[in-house]
Structure 1
Amino acid sequence: MLTITAIYASLLALLFILLSVNVIRWRLKARVSVGDGGHHGLVKAIRCQANCAEYAPIGILLLGIAELQGAPVWAMHVLGAMLLGGRILHAFGFGRQPQIVPFRRLGILLTLIMITVAALGILGHALI
């Protein structure tokens, strides 16, 4: 069972829903059904949502593989918290006007470190 992965996958899915609702809100406000209509706020909302959609799935997949390989519970929670925290920080930092650049940078840094550490750990475990 992927109990720990389920926790972080669910929380990331809820974050994605919040980002999606924000896109819908901007679409209604700007009266734009397809594309961004040149509205800066809508562009930012779309990219916030898309960025989550681009990074969260690989992180969740790696988390699940690590859990299946028997990674320690503490390591799973550290990786999951890095992914979730990174995605929240990035969305918050990028989505604000003006951007909160340190949050955005820390968010992507946490996400990339999580993906790298998980990938290397999984690879190392698979090769042993």
Structure 2
Amino acid sequence: MDQPAYAAAALYAALNALILMWLTLATALVRRRHMVLIGDGGVAHLGRAMRGHANAIENIPVMLVLLGFAAALGAPAVAIHVLGAAFTFGRVVHAWHFTHERAAQWQRAIGFGLSVATLAAAALDVLGHAIILLFIQA
């Protein structure tokens, strides 16, 4: 068992959980400000905050599962750090874009780009490790 790789995966799990908490609180604050309990109430800023939170919920768990499997399948800690740090930075930039009523489009583009690129890299890494272990080393 490669403790540093697991520790790296755990680090990014914790950091991304904090991002989710930030998005949850940001959405709750907009809800409170506009007194909207369910849905977006036609409030554009609330719809934006909800979409940013939903996007994080759609992407973060998949990446964390991939990082955990990468560590379990023998990926070095440095690979987990590279993927985890790039993904987490992308999620922070993306969250920043969605928590503000008006934000620069480059934030969304950078956040999306880093998230998708690192998800793809992690998926290919795990796929490669799994194929090697299942078919080549069997």
TM-score under structure 1 length normalisation: 0.94
Deviation at 1:98, TM superposition (A): 2.7
Which residue number in structure 1 is paired with residue 26 of structure 2?
A: 22
Distance 1:42 1:30 in 2: 8
> What letter matches 1:50 in structure 2?
A
Which residue number in structure 2 is paired with residue 122 of structure 1?
A: 126
Distance 2:35 2:128 in 1: 51
1:1-128 superposed matches below 5 A: 2-128=6-132
Given that residues 4 and 77 in structure 1 are in contact (C-alpha distance below 8 angstroms), is that contact kept between their aligned partners in structure 2? yes
Higher RCO, 1 or 2 (CA under 8 Å, sep at least 6)?
2
Q: Percent identity?
A: 38
Given that residues 19 and 95 in structure 2 are in contact (C-alpha distance below 8 angstroms), is that contact kept between their aligned partners in structure 1? no
Query: Which 4+ stretches in 1 moved above 2 angstroms?
Result: 93-99
Distance 2:41 2:72 in 1: 44
> What letter matches 1:64 in structure 2?
G
Residues paired across the two proteins, number: 128
State the superposition RMSD in angstroms: 1.2
Which residue number in structure 1 is paired with residue 135 of structure 2?
A: none
Distance 1:27 1:97 in 2: 13
Q: Which has more radius of gyration? A: 2
Distance 1:123 1:51 in 2: 24
Structure 1, unaligned runs of 5 or more: none
Distance 2:110 2:28 in 1: 27
Deviation digits for residues 32-59 of structure 1 (CA, Å, limit 9, x no counterpart): 1111110111111111111111110101
Structure 2, unaligned runs of 5 or more: 133-138
